[in-house]
């Protein structure tokens, strides 16, 4: 998601309210030479499979918020925290800078892992010089391995594309969908159906024809699924395309509380099915699983939503560990690409004794600000009653007027505009504060477990992980 805090229209709007101080690229990419199946990278013990769990946009503060909430409400540490004491786990830290900035975006971060070089923000597996890089999944395919992508974002979003595609601009999601078809990514599960079946559109002032890629996937042997029930029935399919939303998968808090969203699968649902589908691959598999919407909740400064997204991702960790117990020839990596928003649970009250009850107050939230955004945009009217039901906060008339003005003026990121307008109320209720609506430059945690994990250095630049993964998997 693009940054919102530097959106001039949004900042000017809030300030005024007085409340807060390409087809050509596709052809070039498809001509990348396939790497040889054997090469010179040598490891004493190879991994047959790799599971790469990535939570997009996780600040350490977001992790701590979810950890303390879980301790308070479930009397247990996060699964992430339990990795620290697990025997055989390598713990590391990564510098996440891109080629163009000390603060990366998701495209550059995923390309560093997937392509082995630092690239400019906004590009996917194109070098600074403009040359396409061979993505990790192309190496895996050349070695006979199956490949899979699972995400709560559109499946053509920056992070999954970083392991599997080449585009000079990350927004070319329809091109990315075409590349998935050409390169036969075996399992693809997430949102983004609008990028697989679309009307004619303009790209670089050139009209691109309408296309429906779904029949083309089916012709290549893919089973196409659209809801939780059909996903559960497709566990034995070796080729699977699951598209469960036109755009991103709705937030976990909304899927929990909105009956209309009950048939949308969770990230653990999709992950479990992907493992079942890929585990029969004779030469193994490489699977990326992204909890992508922690990032989006961070951009919006939405405290309850980021908590629920982090908790959902955390539930994927035991699924991976259970698989590894039965398949010890599997390398597991758990990490994040960058922080978003600078999320932190802060001290509240005398001697900070109110910080614990503030964690309880997060439970009052029933929907995301994005959920409210869609409803207010559809009706054209702000509803104080709906706002209170969703957040537990009763907006005062001045706030309601400003939000209505934002709706009338069709402010693009209404969700983050609303959180900015009621930021004092949000902080008073939850004790969660933010540094911005942007990505952050913090170094990020990484865990590795299984064959090849000892090769991960204690600290390194993110792009060096590509070589470690290829070495562990025996890829040229």
What's the pLDDT tens digit per position in 141-165?
A: 999 999 999 999 999 999 999 999 9
The gap between the terminal CA atoms of the chain, to the nearest Å, is 33
| Position 22 pLDDT exceeds 90 | no
- What average pLDDT does the chain have? 92
Burial string for 183-217 (b: 16+ CB within 10 Å, else e) reads bebbbbbbbbbbbbbbeeeebeeeebeebebbeeb
| Position 136 pLDDT exceeds 60 | yes
Alpha helix ranges (H) inside 293-333: 293-300, 303-314, 316-326
Please report whether residue 353 resides in a domain.
no
Please report whether residue 2 resides in a domain.
no
Length, in residues, of the chain: 476
Residues 273, 186, single domain; the answer is: yes
Number of domains in the chain: 2
Closest listed residue to residue 238, CA positions, set 293, 201, 292, 278: 278
Tokens read off for 164: 């599997």
Residues 283, 398, single domain; the answer is: no
Residues 244, 279, single domain; the answer is: yes
The pLDDT value given to residue 476: 77
Residues 122, 236, single domain; the answer is: yes
The pLDDT value given to residue 80: 98
Range of the domain at 93: 41-344+437-473
The pLDDT value given to residue 4: 41
Please report whether residue 224 resides in a domain.
yes
Residues 270, 416, single domain; the answer is: no
Tokens read off for 409: 């003026």
Q: How confident is the model at residue 120 (pLDDT cuts 50, 70, 90)?
A: very high
Domain boundary pick from 401, 416, 431: 431
Q: What is the CATH number of the domain that holds 340?
A: 3.40.720.10
Whether residue 382 contacts residue 403, with contact meaning beta carbons closer than 8 Å, is answered with: yes
Residues 165, 239, single domain; the answer is: yes
Residues 444, 423, single domain; the answer is: no
Helix or strand run (H / E) with residue 180: helix 173-183
Q: How confident is the model at residue 14 (pLDDT cuts 50, 70, 90)?
A: very low
Percent of the chain with pLDDT over 90: 88
| Position 383 pLDDT exceeds 80 | yes
The pLDDT value given to residue 235: 86
Please report whether residue 222 resides in a domain.
yes
Closest listed residue to residue 241, CA positions, set 302, 204, 299, 197: 197
Residues 273, 383, single domain; the answer is: no
Residue pointed to by tokens 């329809």: 174
Please report whether residue 413 resides in a domain.
yes
What mean pLDDT is predicted for residues 51-66?
A: 98
Burial of 448 (0-12, 13-18, 19+ CB in 10 A): buried
pTM of the model: 0.91
Please report whether residue 20 resides in a domain.
no
Residues 243, 369, single domain; the answer is: no
Residues 453, 375, single domain; the answer is: no
Residues 307, 395, single domain; the answer is: no
Taking the C-alpha atoms of residue 297 and residue 401, their distance in angstroms, rounded to an integer, is 24
Please report whether residue 104 resides in a domain.
yes
Closest listed residue to residue 475, CA positions, set 41, 33, 34, 137: 41
φ/ψ (deg, to 5) at 442: -55, 145
Residues 458, 421, single domain; the answer is: no
What mean pLDDT is predicted for residues 211-221?
A: 97
């Amino acid at each position: 998601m693009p940054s919102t805090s530097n959106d001039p229209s949004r900042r000017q709007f809030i300030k005024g309210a007085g409340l807060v101080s390409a087809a050509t690229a596709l052809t070039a990419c498809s001509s990348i030479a396939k790497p040889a199946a054997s090469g010179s990278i040598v490891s004493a013990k190879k991994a047959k499979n790799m599971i790469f769990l990535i939570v997009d946009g996780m600040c350490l503060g977001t992790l701590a918020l979810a950890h303390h909430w879980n301790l308070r409400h479930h009397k247990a540490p996060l699964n992430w925290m339990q990795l620290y004491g697990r025997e055989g786990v390598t713990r590391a830290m990564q510098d996440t800078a891109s080629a163009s900035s000390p603060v990366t975006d998701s495209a550059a971060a995923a390309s560093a892992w997937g392509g082995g070089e630092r690239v400019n923000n906004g590009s996917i597996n194109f070098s600074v010089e403009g040359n396409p890089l061979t993505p990790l999944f192309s190496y895996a395919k050349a070695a006979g391995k199956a490949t899979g992508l699972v995400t709560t974002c559109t499946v053509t979003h920056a992070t999954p594309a970083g392991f599997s595609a080449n585009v000079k601009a990350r927004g070319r999601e329809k091109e990315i969908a075409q590349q998935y078809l050409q390169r036969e990514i075996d399992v693809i599960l997430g949102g983004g159906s609008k990028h697989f079946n679309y009307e004619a559109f303009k790209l670089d002032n050139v009209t691109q024809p309408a296309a429906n890629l779904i029949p083309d996937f089916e012709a290549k042997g893919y089973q196409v699924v659209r809801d939780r029930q059909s996903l559960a029935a497709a566990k034995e399919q070796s080729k699977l395309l699951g598209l469960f939303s036109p755009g991103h998968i709705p937030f976990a808090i909304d899927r929990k509380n909105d009956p209309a969203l009950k048939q949308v699968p969770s990230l653990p649902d999709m992950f479990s099915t992907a493992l079942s589908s890929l585990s029969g691959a004779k030469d193994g598999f490489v699977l990326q699983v992204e909890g992508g919407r922690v990032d989006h909740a961070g951009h919006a400064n939405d405290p309850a939503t980021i908590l629920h997204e982090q908790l959902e991702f955390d539930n994927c960790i035991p699924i991976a560990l259970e698989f590894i117990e039965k398949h010890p020839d599997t390398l597991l990596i758990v990490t994040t690409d960058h922080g978003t928003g600078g999320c932190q649970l802060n001290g509240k009250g005398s001697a900070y004794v109110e910080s614990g009850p503030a964690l309880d107050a997060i439970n009052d939230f029933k929907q995301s600000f994005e959920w409210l955004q869609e409803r207010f945009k559809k009706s054209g009217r702000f509803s104080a009653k709906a706002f209170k039901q969703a957040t537990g906060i009763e907006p005062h008339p001045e706030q309601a007027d400003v939000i209505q003005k934002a709706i009338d003026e069709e402010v693009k990121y209404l969700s983050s505009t609303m959180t900015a307008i009621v930021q004092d109320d949000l902080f008073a209720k939850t004790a969660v504060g933010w540094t911005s609506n942007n990505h952050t430059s913090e170094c990020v945690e990484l865990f590795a477990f299984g064959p090849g994990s000892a090769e991960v250095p204690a600290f390194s630049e993110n792009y060096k992980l590509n070589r470690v993964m290829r070495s562990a998997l025996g890829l040229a």
